[in-house]
Amino acid sequence: MFIRRAEYIIALLSYHAGIEGVNGVLYATNRFVEKLTSFDLQKGTYNPDDSTSKTYWAYHFGIFGQYYLGSLRQIGLIEEPVDENGQFFGIYRRTSRKDNNHVSGEELATAFDVNIKPQNKQLFLGCIKKGFVNISELEILTSDFNLKVISQNSKEIELLKQILMDIDEPSAPRDNVVEMRKETIIHLMRYISANEYNNQYDFTRYAYNFKGKFNNTYDNCLLGWYYYQFNEYWQTVCTAMLNATLDILEELEGPGWINLHELINYLKDEVLAILKKEKIITNENTSIQTILKLLKNPEDDLYEKIIQVKKRERLYYAFLQVWTLYNQNKDYLNVLNDYAIERQIGENQEDVLSYFTGFERYFNLNVSKFIYDFLSVHVITRHQYVAYRKIGGGSQSTQKFIIENNFIRKIGNFEPGFTSPRIITVMSFLTTLNLIDDNKKLSEFGKSFLNQYSE
């Protein structure tokens, strides 16, 4: 109850003060639309039957339990005690100060407490206990409970910086220390200091374009981001082909059925026609090796085309992207494979590296068979496999078509695009800590901070 009511109050004051990016604000917005001046915290956090659907947050343990519990445990701010048999009690407590250099939950809580005025502590706790909060109380609380503002030159902000730059898992055994969070922040700040930052994909594309190198030397952190962006191009290609396939299926048969073999052959012929029109091939027997020698479009240009166009053109540009991805990354596949094996990534043989490693097997294949096989295996069959696996794992079905007796029917669709690398969240952290200003440039504090870790 305490956590849920506290989170609801934060959501209410955040909406009222125009503070963006705070979970629960959508529900809070609707309460203000109702012209309420006092808010029932019990009604906003629990239904009469103690369920939580359609309240400020559906997950029973609140935003804290859904999003932050695991992270706080990973960075050593909370712990889950065990009994004498090593079994978890099912409760969580803040960590205490220990004889090491890592920030404990106790230290951070104490530093946070210093920044809250005594009367506002009592007001906040009082609202939670009585189960109501009014607008005037929200306005009073905003100065101390604004999640986007931390008192500068405070112990709290210094501890938060220390946490960000600590090893990834301070409480984990010391036999395999990993500092990818720290290295990502350093590389991101270096990028911002030398380049215009427009969106979070600027950084991942930077790592991709430099093939995981910093100062002409492979960097483990940037290699990871290179791998990530490589896979982003790949998943976008596969999703784009599925999207185009389903759009064309709907164009041909509406909600009805069509023979799967006939559909794939139709799609193949449509792509071949565009390839001939664009003078990339002379006929359907042109080999993949011949096509690879003709491609000149950069990956980003092809990605933009894939997003902008639809149906047949989307299929066409997606196939160009497949071949371009091989051309631009063939010399780095061994390095990426070594990186993946060392970190046990992609062991299920289903990612971008698994496909492009050994791509030479397609060199002598004619383009007609390549297109047919790709659509059949990596678009249709692959989507079915992933959808069935999610159902088997208890997740909601993501299946976008049904196949029966080798006939296919569309039941849904989704658009292609990059997933989020969460760099936008890192940027938010750095802005809150006054390391980056509102113009996405390094602040003076940020320049000093970067120099400290670049020496």
pLDDT at res. 385: 76
* Count of other CB atoms within 10 angstroms of residue 316: 23
> How far is Cα 46 from Cα 242, in angstroms, rounded to an integer?
41
The whole-number pLDDT of residue 348 equals 63
Per 3-state DSSP, what percentage of the chain is helix, strand, and coil (rounded to 5)?
60, 5, 35
| DSSP assigned state of 118 | H
Tokens of 428: 């938010």
CB–CB of 154/115 below 8 Å? Answer: yes
What tokens were used for 434? 């006054």
Looking at residue 91, its pLDDT comes to 85
What is the structure's pLDDT at 34?
95
- Nearest-5° Cα angle at 124, 118 to 127: 140
Alpha helix segments (H runs only) across 18-117: 25-33, 41-45, 62-63, 69-74, 105-114
Q: Using CA atoms, how far apart are residues 114 and 156, in angstroms rounded to an integer?
A: 9
Kind and range of the H or E element at 403?
strand 401-404
Q: Which residues, at least 6 apart from 292, have a Cβ–Cβ distance to it below 8 Å?
A: 323, 326, 327, 363
Model pLDDT, residue 97? 76
Q: Which residues of 106-135 are buried (b: 16+ CB within 10 A; e: fewer)?
A: ebbeebbeeeeeeebeebbeebbeeeebee
Task: Give the tokens for residue 191.
Answer: 């990028």
Give the pairing of strands 217-218 and 132-134: unpaired
> Quick check: 362 and 252 in contact, CB under 8 A?
no
Helix (H, G, I), strand (E, B) or coil at 442: strand
Q: What is the pLDDT of residue 390?
A: 66
| pLDDT for position 11 | 98
Backbone angles phi, psi at 331, to 5 degrees: -80, -5
Q: What is the pLDDT of residue 392?
A: 59
In degrees, to the nearest 5, what angle opens at C-alpha 46 toward C-alphas 45 and 49? 175
DSSP E strands, 16-155: 38-40, 78-79, 93-94, 132-134
Distance, CA of 35 to CA of 287 (rounded, Å): 68
Q: Do 100 and 162 contact (CB within 8 A), yes or no?
A: no
Question: For residue 359, which of 344, 384, 378 has the smallest C-alpha distance?
Answer: 378
Q: Distance between CA atoms of 20 and 34, rounded to whole angstroms?
A: 20
Extract the tokens encoding 125.
């706790």
123, amino acid identity = L
What distance in Å separates the CA atoms of residue 268 and residue 261, rounded to the nearest whole number?
Answer: 11
The DSSP code sequence of 291-353 is: HHTT----HHHHHHHHHH--HHHHHHHHHHHHHHHHHHHGGGHHHHHHHHHHTT-STTS-SHH
Unique residue bearing structure tokens 């698994």: 354
**Cα(first)–Cα(last) distance of the chain, in Å?**
48
CB 224 within 8 Å of CB 394: no
Distance, CA of 175 to chain centre: 28
Identify whether the C-beta of residue 34 lies closer than 8 Å to the C-beta of residue 44.
no
Q: What pLDDT is recorded for position 25? A: 95
CB atoms within 10 A of CB 447: 14
Q: Which residue has the tokens 């496999």?
A: 385
Query: Which DSSP helix (H) or strand (E) runs through 217?
Result: strand 217-218
Q: Can you give the pTM of this predicted structure?
A: 0.89
Q: Block means of pLDDT (10 residues each) for the chain, length 455 residues? A: 96 96 95 95 97 96 93 90 81 80 90 96 98 97 94 92 90 77 97 96 98 97 98 97 97 96 98 97 97 95 98 98 98 96 78 93 98 96 78 69 94 95 94 94 95 82
- The confidence score (pLDDT) of residue 100 equals 63
Give how far Cα 451 sits from Cα of 64, 168, 171, 207, Å.
Answer: 34, 21, 27, 21
What element of type H or E holds 214?
A: strand 213-214
User: Quick one: which of 250, 384, 374 has its CA closest to 320?
Assistant: 374
Partners of 259 in the beta sheet? 407
